[in-house]
Structure 1
Amino acid sequence: MKLLHTADWHIGRTLNGYSLLDEQKYAFKQILQIAKDEQVDGVVIAGDIYDRAIPGTDAITTLNEMFKSLNIDNKFPIFAISGNHDGAKRLNYGRDWMQFNNFHINTLLKEAFTPVETQDTQIFMLPFFDPMDARVYYQQQGMAEEKVKDIKTIGDAMQLVLADIYAEFDPNKKHLLITHFAVSASADKEIDLTSETTSKVGGLQTLTASQFDKFDYVMLGHIHTKNASPSLNIRYSGSPVKFNVKEAKPGLKKGVYIVDTNEEATKTDFREILPGTDLIPLEETWETLLDPDFYSKQPVRKDWFAITIKDFDRSQHTSTNVRAQLQNIYGTVVELDYDNIAKKSDEQNTSENISQLSNEAVVGQFFESITGDPLSKTQKALVDDIFVELERGE
């Protein structure tokens, strides 16, 4: 099979109040064209299709148009799963009807054990789930209560889930997996979870590549950069759009993978997605930012800018509307921050852009500012569980 692997569309996402829908539509047009040029056998969307469990009407309309273009107008089969940002039950609506048109979507754990079958391939689609989902599922399957209680971490749950998936393997076929988790190369190697834009929900604990070594190839979602891929056969496609400044760093290309399993060894080819309106991070002094020799070399009034002003003494600019002056030069400034090494940590914390912190980090900072102590391991786990429920709230 030849598949286009993409993930983490986060349709409906905003960047500090600026809608990204037009940028997401621009990226989708490129994805569709790549699928046509490559004549793929299907399009994989590995979770976080929407940005929130209850998306807005504009997001729903946009995604419906994208799915119609892929699946109905251009006849591409779709293989999609829900991620931690998606509302699993809502996204599951109409699933049975969609299958008649080769639109396969799994959002519930119980659906992961029945693969999509082709002549020579089994495609297993494992949506994001948490340990509580696994407890409920295995209790319904008749597992003894004592064993159900032993499912405490995502690692515990995944061990059971994968064992049951492996039991469904047809030895005469190749085995592909689509899933949405943080997976590291090994237990002693960490991956950067900050690219999972608003929260590390589902990523507080990582899984390891060795757990998936029975699959011929694994297509991942959850981390927004392909650079986090733990191995050659277990890859993140990354998101097609830049969602924050950290994702706008030089060298972090956005795109999709073309995955070809027709040969004995699976081949992959990364195809870059170019932005319509790019996000340009600048970190310079106030004097440099206002220097025509500097800003004349920037894509002013074309792209978006995230500006950090270095060594900025606010007391010297009390009558200056800093944002307005910068926007008059650069155009759209989606983010404005200050980096003043002369200030104490309290002022630095005040100026820190909260949009770059995970929800857990915000809670942790607030807790420490009130109590003087950091969250304990148990408290961190509790906070993570709460945000799981909020992100996936129905």
Structure 2
Amino acid sequence: MKIVHCSDLHLGKRVSGNKDYVNKRYRDFFIAFATFVDKVRELKPDICIIAGDIFDKKEINPDILSKTEYLFKQLRDSVKKEIIAIEGNHDNARILEESWLEYLQEQNILKVFYYNKDFEEKNYLKIDDVNFYPVGYPGFMIDETLTKLSEKLNPNEKNIVIVHTGISGRTNTLPGLVSTSILDLFKDKAIYIAGGHIHSFTTYPKEKPYFFVSGSLEFSNIQNEKSDKKGFILFDTDTLDYEFIEIKHRKRIKKDFSYTNFSDLENEFENFVKDLNLTGEEILVISMSVNN
């Protein structure tokens, strides 16, 4: 069985800036998802996994819903068996009567799963010879939740876990991240753990990884995201081979300036911009500091 895994689409995200920039960046997230859909159409996988944060916010407007529904219908036609999605922290709708993810499920576009205390029984799907456990977003309950699930899994079966989390560490301090000691519990019990939440491609452990974070399809935080690579993962449940497939996105250029004389900084910045030959379609991330 072939599976594609993406996460953190953040459809409908609005950044700050002038009107032209805001509108371009709003479209970028839909363009990235459309590019992903085109790639999936070529690959024709059996399963598509979306590991959380389909939307950037719990409340969406008609334009966001219309664009999202259109692209998801195309995606549905490109996947042989099922689209399996979980709720992330951004599209968590517990304060609302109903999630917009539920609407997409009612249109028979995807199957969506939410974290709940009975997730082991409710969040389970068997397709062919693979058991899927879509956990959702446990938040601060992440360690307890995954420990509980690890005790249930049969190592003699093909188990895939879907959870909106990344690996905790010195630079990753978001709530809802998991420690490697918890992930170690799934060694020989899960052939693939589909993660999200963190926007850069990550695998664990280094040798023969079974935990994967695909990263976001578009820059959600243009300044703090380390990697310039955006894409998704293709995984084969029979061979356990995986491939990170990069997709094109708006070019990001980063530059740090630090001077003791403001006039020097201004002159070099002007020369730097001239040498870039910008087309107006790039994202330019500039950090400036003047030391007195």
TM-score normalised by length of structure 2: 0.81
Aligned position for 1:23: 28
Q: Which residue of 1 aligns with 2:147?
A: 159
1:261 is matched with which residue?
Answer: 237
C-alpha change, 1:117 and 1:154, in structure 2 (3 Å) is closer
The answer on 1:281 being equivalent to 2:290 is: no
Following the alignment from structure 1 to structure 2, what is the Cα–Cα distance between the partners of residues 96 and 30? 22
Counterpart in the other structure of 1:60? 65
Q: Is the 8 A contact 1:88 1:107 kept in 2?
A: no
Q: Deviations over 1:85-134 (max 9, x none)?
A: 11245145347645xx4722102323553422122111111100245xxx
Once the two structures are overlaid, the 10-residue window that deviates more, 33-42 or 86-95, is 86-95
Q: Percent identity?
A: 22
1:37–1:130 distance in 2 versus 1, CA, 3 Å: same
Q: Name the residue aligned to 2:261.
A: none
Q: Structure 1 stretches of 5 or more lacking a match?
A: 132-152, 185-189, 195-199, 310-338, 343-394
The one of 229, 236, 240 aligned to 2:203: 229
Distance 1:177 1:154, change over 3 A: closer
- Deviation per CA, 1:270-295: give whole Å up to 9, x if none: 111111x333223233211212x752
Paired AA for residue 270 in structure 1: F
Task: Summarize the Cα distance change of 1:122–1:258 in structure 2 as closer, same or farther, 3 Å threshold.
Answer: same
What's the secondary structure of 2:204's corresponding residue?
coil
Q: Which structure 2 segments of 5+ residues have no match?
A: 258-264
- Match of residue 194 from structure 2: 219
1:1-394 paired onto structure 2 within 5 Å: 1-17=1-17, 18-19=22-23, 20-71=25-76, 73-76=77-80, 77-89=82-94, 90-91=99-100, 93-94=102-103, 97=106, 101=108, 103-109=110-116, 110-113=118-121, 114-130=123-139, 154-163=142-151, 165-166=152-153, 169=154, 171=156, 173-184=157-168, 190=169, 192-193=171-172, 200-203=174-177, 206=179, 208-213=182-187, 214-226=189-201, 228-231=202-205, 232-246=209-223, 249=226, 251-263=227-239, 266-275=240-249, 277-284=250-257, 285-291=265-271, 294-309=273-288, 339-342=289-292
Q: Counterpart of 1:14 in structure 2: which amino acid?
A: R
Offset, 1:6 = 0.3
Whichever of the two has the greater Rg, that structure is 1
How big is the shift at 1:4? Answer: 0.8
Structure with the higher fraction of residues in helix conformation: 1
Name which of structure 1's ranges 121-130 and 240-249 shifts more when overlaid on structure 2.
Answer: 240-249
Separation in structure 2 between the aligned mates of residue 95 and residue 23 of structure 1, nearest angstrom: 22
Deviations along 1:273-332, one digit per CA (max 9) or x if unpaired, are 111x333223233211212x75232424231322223xxxxxxxxxxxxxxxxxxxxxxx
Secondary structure of residue in 1 paired with 2:253: strand
Instruction: Report the secondary structure of 2:102's partner residue.
Output: coil
